[in-house]
Chains A and B, each alone.
Chain A
Amino acid sequence: RKEVEQDPGPFNVPEGATVAFNCTYSNSASQSFFWYRQDCRKEPKLLMSVYSSGNEDGRFTAQLNRASQYISLLIRDSKLSDSATYLCVVNLGYMNYGGSQGNLIFGKGTKLSVKP
């Protein structure tokens, strides 16, 4: 079982639509959670961190459910420029000497295509 699982899509939506992505993670010790965005042939870029209380950044809302080990991302009023792959990411959140807990664990990504 992959440590972070997400629906690969593609999600093809019209401009203005609301779209939701979901992701599950297997390690209950995970402490930090993120959504990264990756454009075609570019590097991943942090979209937003995800907190249990939920957080919103403009048209983007992220939510974490620790009990279910589930992370979501909601995009409202989608724009053409939102077309990209969205990567769900977790981090065990601590570093010990010789440990690897600082590294990010990525899902395969969900591809979003917003059409005019």
Chain B
Amino acid sequence: GAGVSQSPRYKVAKRGQDVALRCDPISGHVSLFWYQQALGQGPEFLTYFQNEAQLDKSGLPSDRFFAERPEGSVSTLKIQRTQQEDSAVYLCASSTLTATDTQYFGPGTRLTVL
């Protein structure tokens, strides 16, 4: 079956531009997570959704970052007024409801801010 998909796979933005990154989780997965992975680092948690409810956004680095999942399936991570330090791979993961269930990752969106 289909895994987690993300688009675009690559995005180059000029500093100050707004970007929107899309995640399509595995069908039926209740939980959806966004992570940010800088070069040479492990992924770091950004935000978590259970269905359409954003239950935790404690990892979002600034108020320029905004995420939504309005119908409980597809999610969008939006970054306003991008800065060079936003350059990273943005990973989306989905899982069933139980916290210990495996999280399945999408291929990520590689964002480069010039």
Q: Does A61 contact B (CB under 8 A)?
A: no
Q: Does A26 contact B (CB under 8 A)?
A: no
* Residue from B99, B105, B107 in contact with A91 in the complex, judged by beta carbons closer than 8 Å: B99
State A45–B55 Cα separation when bound (angstroms). Answer: 24
Given A44-B105, A95-B99, A98-B56, A103 and B41 contact (CB-CB distance below 8 Å): no
Contact A103 B33 (CB under 8 A): yes
Contact B103 A94 (CB under 8 A): no
Number of interface residues of A (CB under 8 A): 27
State A43–B6 Cα separation when bound (angstroms). Answer: 11
State A4–B41 Cα separation when bound (angstroms). Answer: 12
Q: Does B25 contact A (CB under 8 A)?
A: no
Contact A102 B42 (CB under 8 A): no
Q: Does B31 contact A (CB under 8 A)?
A: yes
Given A43-B106, A46-B102, A100 and B42 contact (CB-CB distance below 8 Å): no
| Nearest chain B CB to A40 CB, angstrom units | 12
Q: Mark A10-23, 1 if CB is under 8 A from B, else 0.
A: 00000000000000
A-side interface mostly: loop
State which residues 91-116 of A face B: CB under 8 Å: 91-95, 97-109
Residues from chain A with Cβ under 8 Å of B44 in the complex: 106
Contact A106 B43 (CB under 8 A): yes
Residues from chain A with Cβ under 8 Å of B95 in the complex: 102
Contact B108 A95 (CB under 8 A): no
Contact B43 A99 (CB under 8 A): no
Residues from chain B with Cβ under 8 Å of A46 in the complex: 102-103
* Residue from A31, A43, A97, A100 in contact with B59 in the complex, judged by beta carbons closer than 8 Å: A100
Given A31-B100, A103-B59, A108 and B41 contact (CB-CB distance below 8 Å): yes
State A55–B94 Cα separation when bound (angstroms). Answer: 25
Q: Does B62 contact A (CB under 8 A)?
A: no
Contact B105 A105 (CB under 8 A): no
Contact A102 B48 (CB under 8 A): yes
State A80–B45 Cα separation when bound (angstroms). Answer: 31
